[in-house]
């Protein structure tokens, strides 16, 4: 089943509309995709011109979007739209009729626009509504500087359609221009060529010359400033954060050079990062030319910057070679984690990379344990038909994908594997990839070429982890584990050994606290290291998880946890803590905090926590 659907699709020749006397045959370029109403094989968007006003008072975006389109005399084009008010539509400048299809809770509505045989462009006049899921409007109080409001968008996976009517499938690519008007005091930036200074009139013009998938169209508006790191890299942040962010990400240019060294020239000219207010739902989002990042990685010691390596790696895996459907999400994320680890190794050595890899393996083991009743969810290739693609955005795609590629690398040898990957990115640049196409390419260009046998299908189409997985070791982590064993017996710990610990060692220590550790022992550790007041958000998060599970309530920990949940909106962090509360029979407490915290969360986070806690509003 898995293989056959795409093979079938590719062998099908579709017939163009019956308006021409001679039926013209066009081979299907796009695969079937369940998360978009668009039928790009019939009529497809190619270039977007966006012209909008960002209205902070009404909390809407309003204006028009025009597309240059391609089709073989199709009589309609279908776009995706969700929670938008479509005011009117024009083709080649003249009004035309349109209609919206039935509302689907996941996908929204199909927007059908009538075309004439020679139609080249469509324009849609629209505005967003208060249900729009991609947009998060933040009050001044929710920002770092607390003086101006902030707006951010999150397009992945299928949210771009909630702020722009568009064909919202990852296998499409558009170039775009945008004119965005914002209040005078604020600056706008997009996944495009960006301004470095505030415009006096509040009008910003953007150009994105490289074609990108719609989920990568992004906008942020706030009282932000820019500081360059090198001619090709730099950071945007609110003013009070700018210096800290600049310090934290000082190695960005080195990362870029290391990445190019591994897998070829960076295709997007500029690589900047914007650090957003804490309610941003993800660690980072790889919007081309301008990664969006959470402030929770600003630790003051550059210890959490593997996030930047990850988003940078997406400039190849994801943005340049893009998953064709969300069932193939592991092609975006597994490759990116592998690439991220290689960048980290190039910059900071094998030790650090292996610690990160082992943390990834622990995440994976926990995820697989969580899916023990639904083992099909641990396949790399997913089947998300009828589900929100968000359901597939878990450790399987990332960490099992990584382990598959690392195992493959060790089997064929690094030199051959690197050559293979470099060519893979070059050959498929600015196009999409699906699992079966990747397997065929892998067989031909790596395995058969070097006469290597490998259980690729088992890794991709079966549950759990195959037995030939790479063995990853870290001496530093072994010391950490031994210290925990000793502490369990003696209640004492050699503090001097912890003095030089990296964040990764602390995280490993805390995450591996055994279930049997007593509340009294937790208190001893907290007294020694004051982990309840850890400044590093990652260490804090894993510590809170343990405190909840060990029923520990001293040293102001309950207040710390509540404050954290009230200010941070990063989905991974807050869902870890709410899960711990839920599983420790503290569901009522979780709900009590959640009711207060929910308005601070982006819809992406709120949707997940609603589901987790059974919250219905």
In terms of CB distance, is 233 or 336 closer to Zn ion?
336
In terms of CB distance, is 336 or 532 closer to Zn ion?
336
CB of 446 to Zn ion, least distance (A): 23
CB of 317 to Zn ion, least distance (A): 9
**350 to 188, 204, 355, 472, 500: CA distances (angstroms):** 39, 44, 9, 11, 18
In terms of CB distance, is 154 or 336 closer to Zn ion?
336
What is the contact surface with Zn ion in residues (CB under 5 A)?
333, 336
CB of 263 to Zn ion, least distance (A): 16
Tokens of 551: 């029923």
Residue 436 is a catalytic residue: no
In terms of CB distance, is 76 or 333 closer to Zn ion?
333
CA–CA separation, 346 vs 414, rounded Å?
Answer: 13
Q: Which residues pair with 432 in a beta bridge?
A: 322
* Catalytic-labelled residue, pool 67, 204, 398, 594: 398
DSSP per position, 470-495: PP---HHHHHHHHHHHHHHHHS---H
Among 207, 313, 216, 297, smallest CA distance to 255 is for 313
DSSP per position, 284-346: EE--TTEEEE-GGG--SSSTTTHHHHHHHHTTTBTTTEEESSGGGHHHHHHHHHHHHHHHHHH
Strand 203-212 and strand 174-181: pairing? antiparallel
CB of 499 to Zn ion, least distance (A): 33
Position closest to Zn ion via CB: 336
Residue 398 is a catalytic residue: yes
Token look-up 């606290």 returns 513
DSSP per position, 575-601: HHHHHHHHHTT-HHHHHHHHHHHGGGS
Contact present, 151 and 320 (Cβ < 8 Å): no
Chain centre distance of CA 205 = 26
Strand ranges inside 154-312, DSSP E: 174-181, 187-190, 203-212, 219-222, 224-230, 233-238, 271-275, 284-285, 290-293
CB of 152 to Zn ion, least distance (A): 17
The H or E element that residue 81 is part of is strand 76-81
* Catalytic-labelled residue, pool 311, 345, 367, 409: 311
CB of 575 to Zn ion, least distance (A): 17
- Cβ atoms within 10 Å, residue 386: 8
In terms of CB distance, is 98 or 282 closer to Zn ion?
282
CB of 54 to Zn ion, least distance (A): 27
What count of residues does the chain have?
Answer: 617
> What are the residues whose beta carbons fall under 8 Å from the beta carbon of 264, sequence distance 6 or more?
316, 422, 425, 426
In terms of CB distance, is 41 or 336 closer to Zn ion?
336
In terms of CB distance, is 226 or 398 closer to Zn ion?
398
In terms of CB distance, is 186 or 307 closer to Zn ion?
307
CB of 485 to Zn ion, least distance (A): 34
**598 to 500, 566, 568, 590: CA distances (angstroms):** 38, 8, 11, 11
SS3 155: coil
Residues designated catalytic: 311, 398
């Amino acid at each position: 089943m898995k293989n056959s659907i795409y093979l079938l699709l590719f062998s099908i020749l579709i017939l163009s509309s019956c308006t021409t006397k001679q039926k013209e045959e066009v081979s299907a370029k796009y695969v079937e995709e369940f998360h978009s109403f668009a039928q790009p094989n019939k009529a497809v968007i190619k270039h977007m011109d966006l012209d909008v006003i960002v209205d902070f008072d009404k909390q809407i975006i309003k204006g028009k979007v025009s597309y240059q389109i391609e089709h073989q005399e199709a009589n309609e084009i279908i776009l995706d739209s969700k929670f938008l008010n479509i005011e009117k539509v024009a083709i080649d400048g003249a009004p035309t009729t349109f209609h919206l299809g039935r509302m689907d809770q996941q996908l929204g509505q199909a927007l059908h626009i009538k075309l004439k045989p020679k139609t080249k462009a469509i324009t849609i006049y629209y505005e967003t509504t208060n249900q729009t899921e991609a947009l998060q409007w933040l009050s001044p109080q929710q920002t770092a500087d607390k003086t101006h409001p902030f707006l951010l968008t999150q397009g992945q996976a299928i949210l771009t359609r909630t702020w722009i009517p568009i064909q919202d499938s990852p296998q499409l690519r558009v170039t775009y221009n945008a004119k965005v008007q914002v209040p005078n005091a604020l600056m706008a930036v997009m996944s495009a060529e960006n301004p470095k200074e505030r415009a006096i009139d509040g009008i910003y013009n953007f150009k994105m010359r490289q074609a990108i998938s719609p989920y990568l169209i992004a906008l942020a508006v706030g009282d932000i400033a820019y500081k360059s790191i090198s001619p090709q890299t730099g950071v945007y942040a609110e003013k009070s954060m700018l210096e800290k962010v600049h310090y934290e990400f000082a190695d960005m240019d080195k990362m870029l050079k290391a990445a190019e060294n591994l897998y070829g020239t960076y295709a997007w000219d500029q690589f900047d990062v914007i650090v957003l207010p804490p309610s941003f739902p993800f660690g980072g989002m790889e919007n081309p030319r301008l990664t969006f990042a959470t402030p929770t990685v600003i630790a003051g010691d550059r210890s959490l910057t593997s996030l930047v390596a990850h988003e940078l790696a997406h400039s190849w895996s994801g943005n340049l070679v893009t998953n064709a459907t969300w069932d193939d999400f592991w092609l975006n994320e597994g490759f990116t984690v592998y690439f991220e680890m290689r960048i980290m190794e190039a910059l900071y050595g094998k030790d650090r990379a292996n610690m990160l890899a082992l943390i990834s393996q622990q995440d994976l083991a926990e995820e697989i344990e969580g899916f023990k009743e639904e083992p099909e969810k641990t396949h790399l290739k997913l089947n998300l038909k009828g589900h929100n693609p968000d359901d597939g955005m878990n450790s399987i795609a990332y960490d099992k994908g990584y382990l598959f590629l690392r195992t493959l690398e060790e089997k064929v040898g690094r030199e051959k594997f690197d050559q293979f990957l470099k060519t893979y990115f070059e050959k498929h640049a600015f196009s999409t990839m699906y699992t079966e196409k990747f397997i065929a390419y892998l067989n031909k260009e790596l395995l058969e070429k070097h006469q290597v046998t490998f259980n690729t299908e088992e890794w991709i189409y079966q549950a759990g982890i195959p037995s030939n997985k790479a063995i990853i070791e870290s001496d530093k982590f072994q010391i950490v584990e031994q210290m925990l064993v000793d502490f369990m017996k003696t209640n004492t710990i050699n503090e001097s050994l912890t003095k030089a610990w990296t964040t990764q060692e602390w995280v490993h220590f805390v995450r591996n606290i055994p279930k049997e550790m007593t509340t009294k022992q937790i208190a001893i550790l907290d007294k020694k290291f004051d982990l309840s007041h850890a400044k590093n958000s990652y260490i804090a998060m894993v510590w809170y998880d343990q405190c909840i599970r060990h029923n520990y309530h001293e040293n102001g920990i309950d207040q710390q946890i509540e404050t954290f949940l009230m200010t941070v909106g990063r989905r991974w962090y807050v869902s870890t803590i709410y899960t711990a509360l839920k599983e420790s029979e503290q569901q009522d407490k979780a709900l009590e905090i959640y009711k207060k915290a929910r308005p601070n969360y982006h819809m992406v986070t709120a949707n997940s926590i609603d589901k987790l806690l059974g919250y219905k509003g």
